[in-house]
């Protein structure tokens, strides 16, 4: 099936975009802790570029909520905030629930078949989902497929923007998950069934229940 991480067309990039994308991946991978300072001079040395593209990339990261630029001081990763994590996940839940509703209305048969085949592959090897990277890849691919079934450019565009920060919070809070992979798979199976049956109301409800249950579990475990 189409992979969330490889589905976008490749195009020539401005220097600051390349720097931004690499720094974003570093943040997702946990290279810096919450509140940790990021040295601009070290970034200049690392990327072998002038200060301008580094600062443009950092401003873009700040605009997306990853970091804070401190005048005359440099920049740092945003401070840890349980409230911000939960609020961001609630925002994702709202738009993903809407997407499930629209997917039930607008999906095409071949889209459902692709997602069913992918879901079946994962269902046959649930233990792999105990890996942070594998779980996140499965989760994003599933929800990305649902987004594409909406056939709504505005929904997809806004979801991608929301997911940028959501992924940062999720990947840096993974140690608090302690979930059962089988339950995760079954929850998404219910969503998929509702979408396939074109039951828009139940598709939205199932996605909402699944995401809100996940958020509540995380809320109870985060410090």
pTM comes to 0.84
Instruction: For 76-103, write each residue's pLDDT tens digit.
Output: 999 999 999 999 999 999 999 999 999 9
What is the torsional sign of CA 73, 75, 76, 82?
positive
Q: CATH number of the domain at 15-77, please?
A: 1.10.10.10
| Contacts for 145 with CB less than 8 Å, ≥ 6 apart | 1, 2, 111, 114, 115, 118
33 touches 77 (CB < 8 A): yes
Q: Which residue has the higher pLDDT, 104 or 171?
A: 104
**Same fold for the domain at 15-77 and the one at 82-221?**
no
Can you say whether residue 48 is alpha, beta or left, with left for phi > 0 and alpha for psi between -120 and 50 degrees? left
**How far apart (Å, rounded) are the C-alpha atoms in residues 209 and 60?**
33
**How far apart (Å, rounded) are the C-alpha atoms in residues 67 and 78?**
5
Domain extent listing, the chain? 15-77, 82-221
72: confidence class by pLDDT, cuts 50, 70, 90: confident
111: confidence class by pLDDT, cuts 50, 70, 90: very high
The label of the residue with tokens 């999720």 reads 170
Q: What is the pLDDT of residue 3?
A: 53
CA-CA-CA-CA dihedral for 42, 47, 52, 53, to nearest 10: -130
10: confidence class by pLDDT, cuts 50, 70, 90: very low
Looking at 31-171, list the stretches that DSSP marks H as alpha helix, in order from N- to C-terminal side.
40-47, 51-63, 82-106, 109-123, 132-149, 153-171
Q: What is the gyration radius of the CA atoms in the chain, in angstroms? A: 19
Which CATH entry fits the domain spanning 82-221: 3.30.70.260, 3.40.50.10610, 1.20.120.530, 2.40.110.10?
1.20.120.530
Q: Which residue has the higher pLDDT, 5 or 211?
A: 211
Mean per-residue pLDDT of the chain: 89
Percent of the chain with pLDDT over 70: 92
Q: Nearest-5° angle of CA 23, CA 24, CA 25?
A: 90
74-77 sheet: strands from edge to edge: 37-38, 74-77, 67-70
**3-state DSSP assignment of residue 70:** strand
């Amino acid at each position: 099936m189409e992979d969330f991480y490889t589905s976008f067309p490749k195009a020539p990039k401005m220097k600051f975009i390349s720097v931004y994308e690499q720094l974003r991946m570093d943040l997702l991978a946990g290279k810096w802790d919450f509140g940790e300072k990021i040295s601009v001079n070290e970034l200049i040395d690392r990327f072998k570029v002038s200060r301008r593209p580094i600062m443009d990339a950092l401003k873009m990261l700040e605009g997306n909520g990853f970091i804070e630029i401190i005048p005359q001081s440099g920049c740092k990763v945003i401070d840890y905030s349980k409230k911000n994590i939960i609020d961001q996940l609630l925002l994702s839940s709202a738009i993903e629930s809407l997407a499930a509703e629209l997917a039930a209305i607008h999906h095409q048969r071949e889209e459902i078949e692709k997602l069913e085949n992918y879901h079946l592959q994962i269902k046959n090897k649930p233990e792999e989902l105990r890996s942070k990277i594998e779980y996140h890849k499965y989760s994003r691919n599933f929800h990305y497929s649902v987004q594409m079934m909406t056939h709504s450019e505005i929904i997809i565009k806004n979801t991608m923007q929301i997911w940028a920060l959501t992924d940062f919070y999720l990947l840096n809070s993974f140690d608090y998950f302690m979930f059962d992979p089988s339950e995760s798979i079954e929850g998404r199976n219910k969503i998929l069934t509702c979408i396939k049956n074109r039951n828009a109301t139940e598709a939205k409800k199932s996605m909402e229940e699944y995401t809100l249950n996940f958020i509540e579990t995380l809320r109870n475990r985060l410090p």
